[in-house]
Amino acid sequence: MTTKQVPSTLQKMGLDSPMALALHLPSRYEDETELFTIEEALNQGRFSSTQTQGVVVRNQVLFRPRRQMLVTIEDHTATLQLRFLNFYPSQQKQMAVGVHVRVRGEVREGFQGPEMVHPTVRAVAADTPLPTSLTPVYPASAGVSQTVIRKAVAQALRHPSLQDSLAEFLPKKLMAELIPGNDWPSLQSAISYLHQPPADANTQALLERTAPAWRRVQFEELLAQQISLKRAHAIRRERHAPSFAQPVKSKSFEANLLKALPFKLTTAQERVWEEIGHDLEKSFPMNRLLQGDVGSGKTIVAALAAARVMDHGYQAAVMAPTEILAEQHYLKMKEWFEPLGVRIAWLSGSLKAKEKRLAQEVIENGEAQLIIGTHSLIQENVSFSKLGLAVIDEQHRFGVRQRLEIQQRLGAELFYCHQLMMSATPIPRTLAMTYYADLDVSVIDELPPGRKPITTKVVKATRRDEVIGGLESWLSKGLQAYWVCPLIEESEVLQLQTAVESFEQLTQALPKFKVGLVHGRLKAEEKAAVMAAFKANEIQLLVATTVIEVGVDVPNAALMVIEHAERFGYAQIHQLRGRVGRGSADSVCILMYAEPLSMAAKERLQTLREVSDGFVIAERDLSLRGPGELLGAKQSGDAMLRFVDLQRDAWLIELAQQAAERLLAEHADLVERHLERWLGSRAEFLKA
């Protein structure tokens, strides 16, 4: 089976070889192994899927109340109506009067009695034998029928090359030691079973992906991922990076920065700085993730790392995903470093051509010691003079390809720079074990002194006037507040209150106070002007979209109202409410929601009201959204794990880690074969 033999529609789905088709496993199954008379099907109870057959005795197309096709079939026991709201002329022919058809679907109560709406239909002879295995239903894209996929998969499973591709090469002794009492089938048997499960298969275990055949496939996939990560870890230790020991001189940037700070580092900050400082002393590149909840003080730790590098005559770069966050870093670092004589360069997409060119020049000639900006820092025309450290903030928002790009770009012939990733979105343990195995992780697990817990309240949108009244008394105390909206302009579909509308309404309702508006479509300088006015308390109430999600630090703003909170995810709300609670006043976050609420939204708001621990929230977020979004893997277009659920299959991860270590140590010859089978070119992404 060559690529040319695979239909082009399947090639577009990436199903271009027997192996790709073999690993395109079903998402569910239909049981076509049982057949009932029409009378039995009618008596089985409503809404249960069933299969029956009969002769077409009537086929008519009606146009009221809308165009539809009604087909009546009968056998020796009863009649049944089939209703099609969307149909093609070919289907009319398929179900012409006198044709014998086999149908499968749910029996429902219609206007004219029991009926099936849009059942699966096949024209068959009355004595056509039933299949002996469950019928697979495959993930498909528009315009690709199940019949085409089933036929291609069946052909692929018979292809001679698959014998080699699915060959059993994991040592039996290793499998027996790792998985005592192992009842898993061979990989080839597991794949065949999942494509064609017998009629008596445990359908629940198949659907939940806990059947032994699924376990074998999941283990193999995880093993490939763990091997790739462990190899990346080993390769990194073979690379050369500049070693940055703690400067002896008391007048170093590092020592002077610590002296100049108006606060003392927390115990957690001191601990993680020691871990990072230890990494910077090594002669291979640091690859560390610094985690800390919103407001825990990650920026000062990154600044100390930058100071250490600059003390040795190297440059440090800080990259953030949005201009507003990058600018916050720029202003904060400027405040800390300019008095120490550090030259800072600012680079973002919104700079004018001349400003950009000047920034690029001082970066390239080494005059700029500290460079801060957005993803503009990894554009083609940016060349660093001597880059020793790259700090990437909110790293999951860049996507896998961009992190890989900066790593490769900074990996010059002579040395690689150290990398420090930062995230206020805590990485759940299972995610860290599977995707961040090549990262050393530091966690700031305490907030700076004086940070007060935030009280979260959940209120209905019908109490909006009451909330505005409370807001007025709040602002009268001299405090400031945020009002967050999910959209910028009117959407007829969602019918959400917009930022612009809220701004106008609140300006009218609170005439004694200055109300500002900031959103993603404002020019960078307009955004900066509004934020500066808010920070200076020239604006008391800031109406904003989620551009303020990260990086904004206004200690006097201690109240936040989030409108249409049901539209936001866990991590977004947790990040947003982290903008308050930064001063001495008691802080409140009001989650205002519109009814009706879905069960998921209700649970989300309830959790956010009760839980302030970012790790608990991250675990809930993972169960809802999956790893792709939390990692930034979605932007790369590569879902890293196709068959594994990180929460359901957490126990398998440790097994795969142990097996990967053993294979690398004892069976190096098998490693390449395993990686090629499961990852192919995607193995590169795991090194990002």
In order, the DSSP letters of 449-507 are TTPPPEEEEEEEGGGHHHHHHHHHHHHHTT-EEEEE-S-SS--TTT-PPPHHHHHHHHH
Q: What predicted TM-score, i.e. pTM, was given to this entire model?
A: 0.66
Record the tokens describing residue 409, joined without a space: 């770009």
- 218 pLDDT tier (thresholds 50, 70, 90): very high
Q: What CA–CA distance (Å, rounded) separates 471 from 655?
A: 54
Domain boundaries defined on the chain: 34-130, 253-444, 454-611
CATH 3.40.50.300 fits 454-611, yes or no: yes
Helix (H, G, I), strand (E, B) or coil at 119: coil
Tell me which DSSP letter residue 294 carries: T
CB-CB contact of 57 with 50 (8 Å): no
Whether the per-residue pLDDT at 60 is higher than 70: the answer is: yes
Give how far Cα 197 sits from Cα of 28, 69, 288, 353, 422, Å: 11, 34, 45, 63, 46
Helix (H, G, I), strand (E, B) or coil at 247: coil
Taking the C-alpha atoms of 155, 156, 158 and 159 in order, what is their torsion angle to the nearest 10 degrees? 120
Q: Which is nearest to 313 in space by CA: 272, 281, 274, 342?
A: 342
Give pLDDT, residue 603.
83
Record the tokens describing residue 119, joined without a space: 């059942």
Give pLDDT, residue 550.
47
- Assigned CATH for 34-130: 2.40.50.140
Using one digit for the tens of pLDDT, what is the confidence trace for 98-153?
A: 999 999 998 888 888 889 999 989 899 989 999 888 889 998 877 788 888 999 99
Q: What CA–CA distance (Å, rounded) separates 25 from 427?
A: 29
CB-CB contact of 70 with 8 (8 Å): no
- 432 pLDDT tier (thresholds 50, 70, 90): low
- 320 pLDDT tier (thresholds 50, 70, 90): confident
Phi/psi for 74 (5° steps) reads -145, 155
Give pLDDT, residue 688.
43
Can you tell me the mean pLDDT for 173-187? 83
Amino acid at position 97, single letter: V
Whether the per-residue pLDDT at 427 is higher than 80: the answer is: no
Pick the CATH number of 253-444 from 3.30.40.10, 2.40.50.140, 3.40.50.300, 3.20.20.30: 3.40.50.300
Whether the per-residue pLDDT at 401 is higher than 70: the answer is: no
Strand (E) or helix (H) holding 318: strand 315-319
Whether the per-residue pLDDT at 404 is higher than 60: the answer is: no
* Tokens 């990692």, residue located: 631
CB-CB contact of 215 with 244 (8 Å): no
Q: What CA–CA distance (Å, rounded) separates 366 from 314?
A: 8
Helix (H, G, I), strand (E, B) or coil at 103: strand
Equal fold, 34-130 vs 454-611: no
Give pLDDT, residue 289.
86
CB-CB contact of 383 with 366 (8 Å): no
Whether the per-residue pLDDT at 384 is higher than 70: the answer is: yes
